[in-house]
């Protein structure tokens, strides 16, 4: 089923606008009318927005309520031209960012650090996203251990389920990532397995709250004890769960402690651009005390351009994003976040129940807002193939094969979505039963991963996709 273009050539799914709108491979000689441009952009946006409005897309769009988004866009517009680093010219930036950090720290029980050591004081910075927050923590642990313990070949221990942003940061900053498998069928990392890998080069360990594949919270209490015992850092990746687990906990769900209440936690990443419902392009990295944050700052006094300093890996950042993030937190308030979590959990509980009701499907661990599931009897990717025809978009997982669905606010705005999910899933399972033994469409790539040769092929393929995307 390939869409045909007028010229009979199959349409490239990455380039649906080719031939439909003008392609610019050079700056146009004469500027275009702004009305024209707006019309074209609005058309693309409206078409692309139809997908998440169905509520059938896992994760990806976290709030996207039209009124909230319009409000954030308005706040953005006042500072879209401002560089956050220009604190002197725009003191509003210092206000927005310090308050974003403080509000996030408060939500994650930052005050609890004083019970352990009154001289500790949670602090942090605003970054461009979860990957940068994580990269900053990796750099901090590397530089702190080098300065204080003379560690020159740093290692960080992470569960296999932790986000690849850690692997990426390790690759960028020259830190070896030691990967620990997760236990079966619990799918959480074992604290003993983490401890067994600690050596004099270990600068920190990592746990997720919750992890991206299954939304599960690692045994953080135990990992905290391991970190304390060995005097090393402990980063909790709350990029995904940081802005929703505190509210789910307040709703009365049983959530183990995941934040600064744990005495061994030295840093937490939490994404404002996910369940903080802010615009894309912001996250917060928090540290137990300012000593850690010092290792994040970059200063270079000897430049002809002036004395240079920057707090994160980014240089210029848009002040609009900081204004909008601040506005998101302040406009929703604790009651707004709590209401959002309640609506999300209502749908998530329905989805979980629908999966659990089907013989042959296994929910992974004890999830909350993100439900991962697999099957031993069926090819889970057959179910994905079928659900695609009904407009559902899951995230495909591998090692082992599984699917996940992450509930965000768009799902809560579609009436009876849970019932529709239940009905479609039952049909998807019948489809998978009828097709046992035939290869599923959505699994083509996954067969290759994990094989040494296969990995090289997949790497080449993925790089090829980027090259193609950047080609005109
Ligand atoms: C999204 C996510 C990240 C990375 O964040 P980006 O904002 O995409 O850079 C890290 N960890 C988890 C668990 C995530 O879900």
Q: What is the pLDDT of residues 48-87, one digit of tens each?
A: 999 889 999 999 899 879 999 999 999 999 999 999 988 8
64: left (phi over 0), alpha (psi -120 to 50) or beta: left
Residues 100, 143 share a domain: yes
* Contact of 173 with 145, CB cutoff 8 Å: no
Q: Is the CB of 276 under 6 A from ligand 1?
A: no
Q: Is the CB of 208 under 6 A from ligand 1?
A: yes
Question: Which residues have a Cβ under 8 Å from the Cβ of 224 and sit 6 or more positions away?
Answer: 234, 262, 263, 264, 265
Q: Rounded to whole angstroms, how far apart are CA atoms 394 and 381?
A: 10
Residue nearest atom 6 in ligand 1 by C-alpha distance: 130
HSE-CB for 397 with a 13 A CA cutoff: 25
Residues 206, 105 share a domain: yes
Q: Rounded to whole angstroms, how far apart are CA atoms 147 and 283?
A: 27
pLDDT of residue 87: 84
For residue 54 the two structure tokens come to 């169905």
DSSP string, 121-143: --EEEEESSHHHHHHHHHHHHHH
Q: Where does a domain end: 278, 301, 328? A: 328
* Contact of 234 with 222, CB cutoff 8 Å: no
* Contact of 365 with 188, CB cutoff 8 Å: yes
pLDDT of residue 238: 98
Q: How far is the CA of 252 from the centre of ligand 1 (A)?
A: 26
* Contact of 292 with 234, CB cutoff 8 Å: no
- Residue 453 has phi, psi (to 5 degrees) of -65, -40
Residue nearest atom 4 in ligand 1 by C-alpha distance: 130
Q: Is residue 5 part of a domain?
A: no
- In the chain, which stretches have pLDDT less than 70? 1-10, 444, 447-450, 452
Q: How far is the CA of 213 from the centre of ligand 1 (A)?
A: 11
Residues 340, 323 share a domain: no
Give the number of domains in the chain: 2
Residue nearest atom 3 in ligand 1 by C-alpha distance: 130
Residues 192, 230 share a domain: yes
Q: How far is the CA of 273 from the centre of ligand 1 (A)?
A: 10
Q: Where does a domain end: 328, 347, 376? A: 328
Q: How far is the CA of 36 from the centre of ligand 1 (A)?
A: 36
Q: Is the CB of 268 under 6 A from ligand 1?
A: no
Instruction: Tell me the CA distances in angstroms from 443 to 49, 379, 401, 447, 448, one per residue in order.
Output: 27, 9, 9, 7, 9
- Residue 231 has phi, psi (to 5 degrees) of 65, 40
- Mapped onto helix, strand or coil, the DSSP state of residue 267 is strand
Residues 249, 365 share a domain: no
* Contact of 275 with 243, CB cutoff 8 Å: yes
Q: Is the CB of 195 under 6 A from ligand 1?
A: no
User: Which of 177, 271, 397 is the pocket-test mutation for ligand 1 (most atoms within 8 Å of CB)?
Assistant: 271
Residues 146, 221 share a domain: yes
pLDDT of residue 1: 35
- Mapped onto helix, strand or coil, the DSSP state of residue 98 is helix
Q: Is residue 433 part of a domain?
A: yes
CATH of the domain at 142: 3.40.640.10
Residues 363, 237 share a domain: no
Residues 213, 87 share a domain: yes
- Mapped onto helix, strand or coil, the DSSP state of residue 438 is coil
Domain span including residue 202:
79-328
CATH of the domain at 410: 3.90.1150.10
pLDDT of residue 52: 87
Q: Is residue 455 part of a domain?
A: no
Q: Is residue 74 part of a domain?
A: no
Residues 167, 193 share a domain: yes
Q: Is residue 232 part of a domain?
A: yes
Q: Is the CB of 131 under 6 A from ligand 1?
A: yes
Q: Rounded to whole angstroms, how far apart are CA atoms 33 and 470?
A: 26
Q: Is the CB of 239 under 6 A from ligand 1?
A: yes
Q: Which has the closest alpha carbon to 211: 166, 177, 155?
A: 166
Do the strands 155-159 and 361-363 form a parallel or antiparallel pair, or are they unpaired?
Answer: unpaired
User: Which of 134, 137, 162, 163 is the pocket-test mutation for ligand 1 (most atoms within 8 Å of CB)?
Assistant: 163
Q: Is residue 62 part of a domain?
A: no
Residues 414, 320 share a domain: no
Q: Is the CB of 405 under 6 A from ligand 1?
A: no
Question: Which residues have a Cβ under 8 Å from the Cβ of 269 and sit 6 or more positions away?
Answer: 130, 133, 134, 137, 235, 236, 237, 238, 239, 242, 283, 284, 285, 286
pLDDT of residue 3: 47
pLDDT of residue 445: 72
HEC assignment per residue over 216-236: CCCCHHHHHHHHHHHCCEEEE
Q: Rounded to whole angstroms, how far apart are CA atoms 260 and 288?
A: 8
Q: Where does a domain end: 293, 310, 328? A: 328
Q: Is the CB of 96 under 6 A from ligand 1?
A: no
For residue 323 the two structure tokens come to 């204004």
Residues 204, 106 share a domain: yes
- Mapped onto helix, strand or coil, the DSSP state of residue 204 is strand
Residues 367, 282 share a domain: no
pLDDT of residue 234: 99
Q: Is residue 262 part of a domain?
A: yes
Q: Is residue 48 part of a domain?
A: no
User: Which of 137, 165, 314 is the pocket-test mutation for ligand 1 (most atoms within 8 Å of CB)?
Assistant: 165
Q: Is the CB of 165 under 6 A from ligand 1?
A: yes
């Amino acid at each position: 089923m390939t869409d045909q273009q007028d010229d009979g050539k199959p349409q490239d799914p990455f380039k649906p606008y080719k031939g439909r709108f003008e392609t610019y491979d050079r700056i146009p000689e004469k500027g275009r009318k702004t009305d024209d441009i707006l019309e074209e952009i609005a058309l693309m946006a409206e078409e692309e927005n139809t997908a998440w409005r169905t509520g059938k897309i896992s994760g990806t769009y976290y709030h996207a309520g039209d009124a909230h988004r319009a409000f954030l866009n308005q706040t953005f517009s006042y500072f879209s031209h401002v560089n956050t680093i220009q604190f002197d010219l725009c003191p509003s930036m210092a206000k927005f960012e310090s308050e974003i950090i403080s509000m996030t720290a408060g939500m994650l029980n930052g005050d609890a650090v004083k019970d352990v050591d009154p001289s500790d004081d949670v602090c942090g910075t605003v970054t461009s996203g979860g990957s940068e927050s994580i990269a900053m923590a990796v750099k901090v642990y590397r530089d702190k251990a080098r300065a204080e313990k003379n560690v020159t070949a740093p290692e960080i221990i992470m569960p296999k389920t932790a986000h690849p942003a850690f692997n990426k940061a390790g690759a960028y900053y020259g830190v070896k990532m030691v990967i620990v498998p997760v236990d079966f069928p619990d799918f959480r990392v074992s604290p003993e397995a983490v401890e067994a890998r600690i050596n004099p080069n270990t600068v920190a360990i990592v746990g997720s709250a919750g992890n991206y594949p299954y939304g599960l919270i690692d045994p953080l209490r135990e990992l905290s004890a391991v970190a304390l015992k060995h005097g090393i850092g402990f980063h909790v990746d709350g990029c995904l769960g940081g802005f929703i687990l505190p509210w789910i906990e307040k709703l009365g769900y049983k959530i183990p402690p995941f934040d600064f209440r744990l005495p061994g936690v030295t840093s937490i990443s939490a994404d404002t651009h996910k369940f903080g419902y802010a615009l894309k392009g912001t996250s917060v990295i928090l540290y137990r005390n300012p000593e850690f944050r010092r290792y994040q700052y970059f200063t270079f006094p000897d430049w002809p351009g002036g004395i240079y300093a920057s707090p994160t890996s980014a240089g210029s950042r848009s002040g609009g994003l900081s204004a909008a993030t601040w506005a998101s937190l302040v406009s929703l308030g604790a009651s707004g976040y709590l209401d959002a979590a309640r609506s999300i959990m209502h749908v998530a509980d329905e989805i979980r129940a629908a999966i659990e009701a089907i013989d042959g499907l296994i929910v992974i661990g004890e999830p909350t807002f993100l439900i991962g599931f697999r099957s031993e009897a069926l090819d889970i990717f057959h179910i994905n193939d079928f659900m695609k025809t009904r407009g559902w978009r899951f995230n495909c997982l591998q090692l082992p094969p599984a699917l996940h669905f992450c509930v965000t606010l768009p799902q809560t705005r579609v009436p009876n979505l849970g019932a529709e999910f239940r009905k479609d899933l039952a049909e998807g399972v019948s489809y998978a039963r009828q097709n046992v033994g035939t290869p599923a469409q959505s699994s083509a790539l996954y067969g290759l991963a994990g094989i040494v040769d296969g990995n090289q092929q997949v790497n080449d393929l993925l790089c090829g996709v980027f090259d193609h995307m950047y080609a005109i």
